[in-house]
């Protein structure tokens, strides 16, 4: 049988609703944006992929159409090779990636072609009649993948002016989690409520708190409260490098037995890179360290492991590619380290992709990040993967194993087109919380004089 040919590549920008989630970089806007790649082949199959939003990424995908259309599905590696040869990796100044969580640099870290890789693997799996995870690395390793409860501080959306920034209101929802996720959550007691609601709805047994919002001591108090409520849970915190080395060491004192690992606790300082500083943190505290900030490409990864600065690499396939993420899991397994996946706001297409990557990863796999719990209910698929007992179920169908609902996709596209800006801006909403607020990678977002 001859391979089907890719006859058409569509790039559709979409938007969804978000809560006023707080991070080091500020407050999430009412809407997040993504780009969808839809490939249609000569056999009538549809392959899909999802990647970060923004005009930069959208335009990059559109420019790749001539390299994709007309190609046999089985030559997906050749397609990616052509794309990589056409792109000069040094044409943009990516600097140190996201060591300091500079959102302006994120577009250089995310590689738009990975959405094409996902869509082509989806088509190839349908052609060969196997799940996508069977095409990656050593094939399928598991039928379900553990995900963690991703906890966030949430600010009061009522502080933004009516008509200007309209956050989704779910106060009339019958679902306790849907109601809670749009409310203000800024205290340890409220963070515990959040964890309880997530555990009740999705059965999650492990949690991570996004830090870099309040003073470190307050955030550690919240972590202690979650651990007290869920004593068997693995509880972690990710301040995105907001703390100084000295502060991170002090905050970590007496936290063994409470925190399982620290994710990017500190960043560059005093002329030293995050990799060097994190190695010093490990020396001082003996904590395991995870990252999605200091190893975002293979060169950075080399220096990270050379310094033994991290034990857990969160290899988002939108940073590394699907083949690259699995290759990372193989290396980490060989070296006795741990694989995980980092998340950003996403639709259920990415949820399905995470399930496939998690199913194919070898060795130790940390519970995967996913923002999906904050977007749940905004499905673009007819058959969204389910999270049961804290485990993301791997679709059983061929390829990605899921199917688009084009009516919902076009509604999300309409929302996208209604937005005044398509690029991420976590600073705008902060102006209503703290007038004149400016991003500082060494100051938690709600800590200002």
Q: How far is it, in rounded angstroms, from Cα 319 to Cα 334?
A: 21
C-alpha distances in Å from residue 440, one per residue of 17, 409, 414: 26, 36, 34
C-alpha distances in Å from residue 302, one per residue of 305, 410, 423: 5, 42, 31
Q: How far is it, in rounded angstroms, from Cα 443 to Cα 233?
A: 29
Residues in Cβ contact with 329 at an 8 Å cutoff, skipping those fewer than 6 apart: 137, 315, 339, 360, 361, 362, 363, 365
- Are the CB atoms for 56 and 107 separated by under 8 Å? yes
Residues in Cβ contact with 2 at an 8 Å cutoff, skipping those fewer than 6 apart: 72
Q: How far is it, in rounded angstroms, from Cα 334 to Cα 326?
A: 12
- Judge whether 210 counts as a catalytic residue: yes
C-alpha distances in Å from residue 104, one per residue of 84, 289, 348: 22, 25, 25
- Are the CB atoms for 2 and 403 separated by under 8 Å? no
The dihedral through the CA atoms of 318, 321, 323, 325 has a sign that is negative
Q: How far is it, in rounded angstroms, from Cα 240 to Cα 237?
A: 9
Q: Quick one: tokens of 270?
A: 């005093």
* Angle value at C-alpha 91, between 85 and 92, nearest 5 degrees: 130
Sort strands 46-52 and 387-388 into parallel, antiparallel or unpaired.
unpaired
- Are the CB atoms for 100 and 268 separated by under 8 Å? yes
Q: How far is it, in rounded angstroms, from Cα 128 to Cα 114?
A: 21
Catalytic: which of 210, 227, 346, 371?
A: 210
| DSSP E strand boundaries for 60-185 | 144-146, 149-151
Q: How far is it, in rounded angstroms, from Cα 361 to Cα 48?
A: 21
For 311-330, letters b (16+ CB in 10 Å) and e give: bbbbbbbbbbbbbbbbbbbe
Closest CA to 102 of 438, 448, 447, 400: 438
Catalytic: which of 342, 346, 371, 422?
A: 342
- Judge whether 256 counts as a catalytic residue: no
The catalytic residues are: 210, 342
């Amino acid at each position: 049988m001859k391979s089907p040919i890719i006859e058409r590549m569509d790039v559709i920008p979409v938007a969804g609703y978000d809560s006023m989630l707080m991070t080091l970089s500020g407050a999430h806007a009412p809407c997040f944006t993504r780009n969808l790649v839809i490939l249609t082949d000569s056999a009538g199959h549809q392959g899909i992929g999802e990647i970060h939003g923004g005009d930069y990424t959208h335009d990059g995908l559109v420019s790749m159409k001539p390299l994709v259309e007309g190609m046999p599905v089985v030559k997906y590696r050749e397609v990616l090779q052509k794309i990589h040869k056409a792109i000069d990796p040094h044409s943009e100044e990516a600097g140190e990636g996201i060591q300091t969580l500079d959102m302006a640099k994120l577009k250089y870290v995310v590689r738009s072609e990975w959405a094409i890789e996902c869509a082509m693997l989806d088509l190839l799996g349908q052609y060969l009649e196997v799940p996508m995870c069977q095409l990656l690395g050593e094939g399928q390793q598991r039928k379900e993948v553990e995900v963690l409860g991703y906890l966030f501080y949430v600010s009061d959306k009522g502080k933004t002016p009516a008509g200007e920034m309209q956050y989704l209101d779910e106060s009339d929802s019958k679902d306790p989690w849907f109601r809670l996720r749009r409310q203000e959550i800024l205290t340890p007691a409220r963070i515990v409520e959040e964890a309880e609601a997530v555990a009740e709805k999705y059965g999650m047994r492990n949690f991570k708190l996004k830090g870099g919002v309040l003073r470190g001591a307050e955030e550690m108090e919240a972590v202690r409260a979650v651990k007290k409520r869920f004593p068997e849970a693995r509880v972690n915190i990710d301040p995105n490098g907001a703390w100084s080395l000295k502060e991170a060491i002090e905050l970590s004192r007496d936290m063994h037995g409470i925190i399982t690992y620290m994710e990017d606790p500190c960043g560059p300082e005093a002329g030293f890179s995050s990799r060097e500083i994190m190695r010093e943190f490990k020396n001082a505290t003996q904590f395991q360290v995870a990252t999605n900030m200091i190893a975002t490409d293979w060169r950075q990864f080399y220096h990270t492991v050379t310094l033994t600065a991290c034990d857990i690499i969160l290899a988002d396939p939108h940073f590394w590619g699907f083949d690259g993420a699995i290759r990372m899991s193989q290396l980490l397994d060989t070296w006795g380290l741990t694989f995980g996946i980092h998340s950003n706001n996403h639709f259920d297409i990415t949820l399905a992709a995470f399930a496939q990557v998690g199913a194919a990863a070898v060795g130790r796999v940390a519970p995967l990040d996913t923002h999906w719990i904050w977007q749940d209910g905004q499905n673009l698929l007819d058959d969204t993967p389910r999270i049961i007992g804290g485990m993301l179920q791997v679709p059983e169908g061929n390829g990605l194993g899921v199917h688009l609902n084009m009516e919902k996709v076009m509604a999300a596209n309409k929302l996208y087109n209604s937005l005044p800006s398509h690029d991420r801006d976590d600073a705008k909403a902060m102006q209503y919380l703290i007038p004149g607020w400016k991003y500082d990678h060494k100051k938690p977002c709600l800590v200002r004089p």
